[in-house]
Structure 1
């Protein structure tokens, strides 16, 4: 690790230089403003927390045009965001979850106001009433309600105020896109305040076209409503009630077509799509793929001050219902049609007691979760099933359910044992009880495509039972954190930490006869600096080394998937964040990350490709073409185009070697009002989509820009914006399977204008 050692030595030299700098008085007009975070379950200055955190305030989100969690990678280097059908997949410093099936826990957990979001589909939402977002890097195995190996995305929404205010906007963009946003807050009575946030977006015209049935594809419609009520019962007592509802419907992120160098099982190739105008976004399917997901929930947070102690209890419910219909083979042939109905519900309760007095800050608590995840049902329809059953059936139907009960006790204490020097010790012990029940059937008679509708529909046709599966397993694991930090004057803090995180074992609801995947663990060492230079530049830098074991991975096997513990991995690298107030109305911010990442021992990986060596058996009655792929580590063909191979030494999936982003903001007086402009750039060096490292997303850059003029008195504003300015074509997801290599394009260029009001 010579490069990492060089970076860390350079960091140490930088620490000495910054510590020797003289203090400068802060200029309130041009100085860096403090950012308060709650990463350690208490309000602290970002620069005093011994954790690598990327904090993105609401103003920065608005300036850079970040409108949903899918856009976060454009502001947080080291965070890669992809999609698997309805699920948003976060990969942070190389740690992520392959696949997005119901019941799977994300390696990078998402929390909204301290409430854990159980569904990976629930991680996809608009950022319409946000105070700030905190992305915590590294394992969070002590203070957070669900252990997360990779990190946590904490979304903190606005707090209701007694004084009435209203912000609303309405906009129109290309592709016949309507977008509206509303946030209102005010007092209802003495000590009682409420707010309401509504976001609506309807892209009525798709990026592409389904050439078979003649309809638009790659479009979506979203609505989300959130509300809070804050009751300040007494000087030290308050109760916050919150509720939300959201719905996403459309074909965006689910309309597959072939990728370069590949052909589909019917002979369709990538060139056929790119030869005609905007064909990059087109598809050829016998039906329009669709996602229809509803998410809802509520919480009650009670806080009571008791002198040096604070008692907090958060009771929450989360639920989701979804329907997906995916054309897995991406052809007009009915080979693999996958309609499924998924449901999730979860109750959680977290009790915390915090202490803050003199040199000691501490928190202890207990977390409980009762969750149910199910497919009602999961189906595979078409020739893939007919081929595997000798024509006896054309449909596999699985009703599967996983129930989880989780218990955890945790505690963390920070002790300032010398002036400016703190020792932090934390621990957590988690018990997860998993139960699986599933009923499997073969079906006769493919339902009419029009019979597939939204949530609540049931499959028709005749079903013949295959069998019933019942399994249960309990997973127990201690996790911990040790950190030492020292404050070298007001401008520099240096820290070092060692921590462990784990992700619980889990069942695969799409293949319920499989044994559960075992827990994965991550041991992480990190050193970092947090510095402020001349009160105008904030620079935070961290170097880290990860030992990642028992990695949970999805692998394609014919028409189904298998969840296994794939391998170990070693990851090391550096990342940084900075913000600079340049003067004359200009400010600059950005972040970057460099990673070295490799799988360790990974002798048996499943590799899929359609073009294959001669002699491989045909798949579902189709004989693919013969290609020239050479995989000397592969043997034992499973299905047509699928082999056992070694992936030892390969790079991790969804993980770029380098990522960087930069945002330039400017503010100037104009016509009695304010003109604010922003230009942002995000670069990604590219990443592999699967463990075989066969197909790679090439490097890409994304440019966004917007201009906002605010009228005198700030009562109204006019905004113009453009996202993906250069219309860069890149993929949102890619699947390798025996019917071909298929991808889903990410959004192309979008632009528009909006008018906003403020009272």
Structure 2
């Protein structure tokens, strides 16, 4: 069945590609237009110093003219700021938090994030790579390598990037093939035997044909030690969470005519990072959890009976076709990807007996097609019309639960789950030049999505299994956008906007005790109001905004009465009726000379649940000293997860002459106030009354500092450098939660440092 469906997807892609190619072939000989618009932030060729071109509205525009809050970062800026992974973006992008929950990467923008995690769920901050939507939360955990740019679009992108972009979108562009030979590479070695190698080579193969190949490899021991049965960590401890990351990316650029370009891509990546699956229980352990030395309790240590394992790999084939016509630019994106992931973890994180462990094997197949037509031939109107089609199939081929031992004798049950998602959307977005300095933007997107689920269980030592079940549901939405922008002076604008976001409904992707519980979860919806100010000159740039978000039906966990077992509950993913987030932010870049650049940003966020009195929380029983799981709690007025009230960042890049070469110094610091990491649970009614309404799993405020120094030889081809990340050795928890086994956490990486060498031609 899988091969048959893959064949159907490929056939569909070929049919669409043939149709697009026919359209392009018919128009290519008759139309003339300028060269394709650039698709990444960069300095303009127009003679305006400090100009940055972005594509937040799916057309190339100056950053200060786009009425959307954006953080635009070039690949060079990312490298100089020490940003190496997706989770590092929050250190330099104002109002952005990117955290981990288990093996899953979950971004948050302005307090909007997801608390649903696991196979089949998608983030409500959309991630795009080279124009292609990335649906899973695991493979985006890879290092950021060979990037041309990153654009963080804040607020609901319901019109142009509308699939699950309730909180915003992160748009990554990798290096494009060059028509002149170019090559670069870098090798680094750091603490914990962290080895990183990356290279890029590009150039012409023939007239009108160029090829670019990028490769990246990373391997390291990691900083978490498996202490076995010894309560004291020693040098002989094994590596509990080694890191591995591989990325191979090839692009072939064909330009058969001046107005037509075709970019064919083949990408392969793999990630091994099990840090988030090492559940070190360090408080309120359940009565059946072994006491030390059978259980690690200290930071950066673990003692699982079986090694934590989180692996994911993805292979993706893409085709991007751009045709410049007499009235605008027609762009087609066609992509097909296969993603495989595997995870194994020990719930009790202790030796010598396995209380419970879970192993999942997941296969996901995704086809997507986007058509954009950016029309510029209408006087005083910039118009985009487009369509999007998406087909995704996910299989859990063996969700295995063990107790006692990871062997046939300990296998409790095996679950097989099938999830499907098929959606399409049509959208239109235009900007009308009302007057010399007044612009009105309006957009509308219609989305239709059908989701399905089916599952069954195979018994092991547990013979009382849930009956098989299946269901499907269709969700529809119309999301509008309206913006009024006024140009106060050249390169200085104010704007007011209203937009809506939509995250499709889902099914709980797990086996439930009764088929009657297999019901769809309502879509998330967000209404956003924003006022913004942008100004730029040759030496500085300032962006500021205030906003108000009205969130409905946020998808989170709740408890409902169990229809099978009286006086008990079932935990489900459901909807919080209402939540509100509002705040203000500003970011400033100052470049007084070619050799010095300073950047700073600050953000205030007030994100609270306003109607969520039936939340499922992990409370604390003061009498027994154990956690009270599945507790119904009232979260009204409580802070939403990953929404620190205050964040700030500051950084600089400075270059000076040294030994006839160039010495480059850079540093980046960030501060994050106290926030809920991922679990907004309260201590609850069974705890000390003074703590009953206090959130349990909060991280205290912290500051981080990264720095590096690089020297480039007089030829400009070779570079040597030193780097330090988290050089103040600040420690915080990127995993912090609790459940039936106790409270568990996992800390961030301690201070790391290393050396690197690179070249470029």
Verify: 1:309 aligned to 2:309, yes or no. no
The CA deviation at 1:318 is 2.1
Aligned counterpart, 2:534: 530
The 3-state SS of whatever aligns with 1:253 is: helix
Aligned counterpart, 1:521: 525
Do the aligned partners of 2:471 and 2:518 also contact (CA within 8 Å) in 1? no
Verify: 1:338 aligned to 2:358, yes or no. yes
The CA deviation at 1:488 is 1.3
Aligned counterpart, 1:669: 657
The 3-state SS of whatever aligns with 2:275 is: coil
Segment of structure 1 superposing worse, 366-375 or 495-504: 366-375
The 3-state SS of whatever aligns with 2:639 is: coil
Aligned counterpart, 2:680: 691
Aligned counterpart, 2:618: 608
Gaps of 5+ in 2: 1-42, 231-236, 561-567, 682-694
Structure-2-length-normalised TM-score: 0.86
CA distance in 1, matches of 2:404, 2:621: 21
Question: Counterparts in 2 of 1:120-159, with a 5 A limit?
Answer: 120-144=137-161, 146-159=163-176
Gaps of 5+ in 1: 1-25, 386-391, 446-462, 615-624, 630-639
What are the superposed Cα offsets for residues 88-134 of structure 1, whole Å, 9 maximum, x if unpaired? Answer: 10011111111321111211000011100011113222221111100
Q: 2:267 aligns with which of 223, 226, 244?
A: 244
CA distance in 1, matches of 2:292, 2:755: 35
The CA deviation at 1:335 is 2.1
Aligned counterpart, 1:594: 604
Segment of structure 1 superposing worse, 555-564 or 404-413: 555-564
Distance 1:554 1:200, change over 3 A: farther
Do the aligned partners of 1:265 and 1:740 also contact (CA within 8 Å) in 2? no
The CA deviation at 1:311 is 1.5
Verify: 1:323 aligned to 2:342, yes or no. yes
Verify: 1:581 aligned to 2:591, yes or no. yes
The 3-state SS of whatever aligns with 2:393 is: strand
CA distance in 2, matches of 1:647, 1:549: 15
What are the superposed Cα offsets for residues 411-441 of structure 1, whole Å, 9 maximum, x if unpaired? Answer: 1011101002111010000110111111123
CA distance in 2, matches of 1:284, 1:217: 8
Verify: 1:291 aligned to 2:310, yes or no. yes
Verify: 1:190 aligned to 2:207, yes or no. yes
CA distance in 1, matches of 2:227, 2:558: 29
Aligned counterpart, 2:457: 440
Distance 1:548 1:394, change over 3 A: same
CA distance in 1, matches of 2:44, 2:526: 43
What are the superposed Cα offsets for residues 311-337 of structure 1, whole Å, 9 maximum, x if unpaired? Answer: 111111122101100122222242221
Aligned counterpart, 2:380: 359
The CA deviation at 1:75 is 1.1
Do the aligned partners of 1:32 and 1:538 also contact (CA within 8 Å) in 2? no
Aligned counterpart, 1:398: 415
Do the aligned partners of 1:109 and 1:146 also contact (CA within 8 Å) in 2? yes
The 3-state SS of whatever aligns with 2:276 is: coil
Do the aligned partners of 2:736 and 2:745 also contact (CA within 8 Å) in 1? yes
Distance 1:27 1:98, change over 3 A: closer
Segment of structure 1 superposing worse, 32-41 or 188-197: 32-41
Distance 1:384 1:511, change over 3 A: farther
Aligned counterpart, 2:504: 504
Aligned counterpart, 2:742: 740
Question: Counterparts in 2 of 1:461-476, with a 5 A limit?
Answer: 466-476=466-476
Do the aligned partners of 1:182 and 1:198 also contact (CA within 8 Å) in 2? yes
What are the superposed Cα offsets for residues 292-313 of structure 1, whole Å, 9 maximum, x if unpaired? Answer: 1111212101111111222111
Do the aligned partners of 2:506 and 2:521 also contact (CA within 8 Å) in 1? yes
Distance 1:384 1:431, change over 3 A: farther
The CA deviation at 1:734 is 2.2
Verify: 1:59 aligned to 2:80, yes or no. no
Aligned counterpart, 2:434: 417
What are the superposed Cα offsets for residues 173-215 of structure 1, whole Å, 9 maximum, x if unpaired? Answer: 1111111010111001101101111111100354323424952
Verify: 1:431 aligned to 2:448, yes or no. yes
The 3-state SS of whatever aligns with 2:342 is: strand
Do the aligned partners of 1:32 and 1:537 also contact (CA within 8 Å) in 2? no
Question: Counterparts in 2 of 1:583-732, with a 5 A limit?
Answer: 583=593, 585-609=595-619, 611-614=620-623, 625-626=624-625, 641-688=629-676, 689-692=678-681, 693-732=695-734
Structure-1-length-normalised TM-score: 0.86
What are the superposed Cα offsets for residues 570-615 of structure 1, whole Å, 9 maximum, x if unpaired? Answer: 1110112210013483221122210111101111111214x5154x
Distance 1:271 1:329, change over 3 A: closer
Aligned counterpart, 1:226: 249
Do the aligned partners of 1:258 and 1:268 also contact (CA within 8 Å) in 2? no
The 3-state SS of whatever aligns with 2:520 is: coil
Segment of structure 1 superposing worse, 354-363 or 498-507: 354-363
Aligned counterpart, 1:94: 111
Do the aligned partners of 2:454 and 2:468 also contact (CA within 8 Å) in 1? yes
Do the aligned partners of 2:671 and 2:701 also contact (CA within 8 Å) in 1? yes
Q: 1:281 aligns with which of 272, 280, 300?
A: 300
CA distance in 2, matches of 1:626, 1:742: 15
Distance 1:187 1:393, change over 3 A: closer
CA distance in 2, matches of 1:38, 1:76: 18
The CA deviation at 1:524 is 0.1
Verify: 1:372 aligned to 2:382, yes or no. no
Do the aligned partners of 2:450 and 2:474 also contact (CA within 8 Å) in 1? yes
Do the aligned partners of 1:262 and 1:269 also contact (CA within 8 Å) in 2? no
Aligned counterpart, 2:550: 547
Q: 1:217 aligns with which of 210, 217, 240?
A: 240
CA distance in 2, matches of 1:711, 1:337: 54
Question: Counterparts in 2 of 1:484-499, with a 5 A limit?
Answer: 484-499=484-499
Do the aligned partners of 2:284 and 2:625 also contact (CA within 8 Å) in 1? no
CA distance in 1, matches of 2:427, 2:109: 24
The CA deviation at 1:444 is 2.3
The 3-state SS of whatever aligns with 2:77 is: helix
CA distance in 1, matches of 2:359, 2:648: 38
The 3-state SS of whatever aligns with 1:714 is: coil
The CA deviation at 1:271 is 12
Distance 1:582 1:263, change over 3 A: farther
Do the aligned partners of 1:210 and 1:285 also contact (CA within 8 Å) in 2? no
Do the aligned partners of 2:404 and 2:410 also contact (CA within 8 Å) in 1? no
Verify: 1:750 aligned to 2:752, yes or no. yes
Segment of structure 1 superposing worse, 554-563 or 342-351: 554-563
CA distance in 2, matches of 1:162, 1:584: 28
Task: Count residues in correspondence.
Answer: 683
CA distance in 1, matches of 2:376, 2:48: 30
Do the aligned partners of 2:103 and 2:273 also contact (CA within 8 Å) in 1? no
Do the aligned partners of 2:116 and 2:555 also contact (CA within 8 Å) in 1? no
Do the aligned partners of 2:281 and 2:741 also contact (CA within 8 Å) in 1? no
Aligned counterpart, 1:621: none
Distance 1:434 1:579, change over 3 A: same
4+ long deviations beyond 4 Å: 264-275, 555-561
The 3-state SS of whatever aligns with 1:146 is: coil
Q: 2:62 aligns with which of 45, 48, 64?
A: 45
